[in-house]
């Protein structure tokens, strides 16, 4: 595996994905806010949550990009469309598994079944994150596919016999 290439492009892809998601929020396309959702796991303080969440989200994206790289290495190919394809699977996983499980995992998230309580007040994402706006799935797909495309296009496979 080409560690240097992973570190560089994993980081770049994560930053671009995070920026794109923030841009979608600012443009009013979706209210899904991954740094905020992650940050509120650690603190109820809105401002601090965004900072903690941003750091956690970047680290998380960086680590997840390893999975992309493992697939590239396993298939002995890395290109933009393969990256994009993995991005589709990644987005589906986020929408169908991560967001679905979040009310059970997040200590401050309310549940549609039991409603908010003194400790759980954060709006849950709902099916496909639709509670955060009908364009949420589109935003998640676009940002994750772009994440995969960047990785696929720029990651350099380890040369056989090299480092």
Partner 1 sequence: MKEVYPAPDRDKENTQSCRRIGDYAIIGDCRSAALVHRNGSIDWLCWPRFDSSSIFARLLDSDRGGFWQIAPPADSGFRASRKYVGDTNVLQTNFESNSGRAELTDLMPVMREAAKHHVLTPDHELIRQVRCTDGEVELEIVFHPRTQYGLHDVQMRQIGGLGVQLEAGRGVYYLRSSVPLRLESGRATARLRMKRGERADFSLTYAEVSPVVLPPLGDWTCHRVEETIGWWKRWAARASYSGDHRPAVLRSALALKLLTYAPSGAVVAAATTSLPERLGGSLNWDYRFCWLRDASLTVRALIGLGYYEEAGAFMEWLLTATRLTQPELRILYTVYGNDSAKEKLLHHLSGFCDSRPVRIGNAARKQVQLDVYGEVLDAAAQYVFHGGEFDRATQNAIVGIGRYVTEHWNEPDQGIWEPREGGQDHTHSRVLCWTALDRLITLADKGCIANAPVDVFKNEREKIAVQVKQRAWNAHLNSYVDTLDGSDLDAALLLISYYGFESADSPRMQATYRALREKLGVGDYLIRRYANGAAEGAFGICSFWEAEFLALGGGSLHQSQNLFEHLLKYRNEVGLYAEEIDPDTGDALGNFPQAFTHVGLVSAALSIHERKEGKVQLAHREPDAQEAQQAA
**Residue 125 Cβ, how far from partner 1 at the closest point, in Å?**
7
Residue ranges in the chain assigned as alpha helix (H): 3-26, 34-42, 46-75, 80-93, 99-105, 136-154
Work out how close the CB of 160 gets to partner 1 at its nearest, in angstroms, rounded to a whole number.
47
C-beta of 74 vs 118, nearer to partner 1? 118
Closest CB 51 distance from partner 1, rounded Å: 13
Indicate the residue among 47 and 159 with the shorter CB distance to partner 1: 47
Asked whether the beta carbons of 126 and 73 are under 8 A apart, the reply is no
For residue 46 the two structure tokens come to 């809105």
Q: Which is nearer to partner 1, 19 or 117 (CB)?
A: 117
DSSP 8-state symbol, 51: H
Using the minimum distance from each CB to partner 1, give the nearer residue, 11 or 126.
126
Please report how close the Cβ of residue 10 comes to partner 1 at its closest, in angstroms.
26
| Tokens linked to 131 | 């509670």
Q: Is 159 exposed, middle or buried (0-12, 13-18, 19+ CB in 10 A)?
A: exposed
- The footprint of partner 1 (CB under 8 A) covers 25-26, 28, 31-33, 36-37, 40, 43-46, 48, 108, 110-118, 121-126, 131-134
Handedness of CA 104, 137, 49, 117 (dihedral sign): negative
In the complex with partner 1, which residue's Cβ is closer, 8 or 133?
A: 133
- The least distance separating partner 1 from the CB of residue 16, rounded to whole angstroms, comes to 19
Which two tokens mark 8? 């560089």
């Amino acid at each position: 595996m080409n560690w240097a290439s992973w570190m560089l492009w994993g980081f770049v892809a994560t930053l671009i994905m995070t920026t794109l998601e923030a841009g979608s929020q600012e443009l009013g396309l979706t209210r899904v806010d991954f740094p905020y959702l992650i940050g509120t796991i650690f603190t109820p303080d809105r401002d601090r949550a965004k900072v903690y969440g941003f750091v956690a989200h970047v680290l998380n994206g960086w680590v997840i990009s390893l999975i992309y790289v493992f697939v590239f290495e396993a298939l002995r190919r890395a290109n933009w469309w393969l990256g994009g394809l993995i991005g589709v699977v990644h987005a589906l996983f986020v929408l169908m598994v991560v967001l679905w499980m979040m009310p059970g995992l997040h200590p401050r998230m309310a549940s549609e079944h039991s409603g908010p309580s003194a400790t759980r007040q954060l709006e849950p994402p709902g099916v496909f994150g639709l509670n955060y706006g009908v364009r949420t799935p589109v935003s998640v797909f676009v940002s994750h596919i772009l994440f995969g495309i960047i990785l696929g296009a720029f990651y350099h496979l380890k040369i056989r016999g090299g480092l």
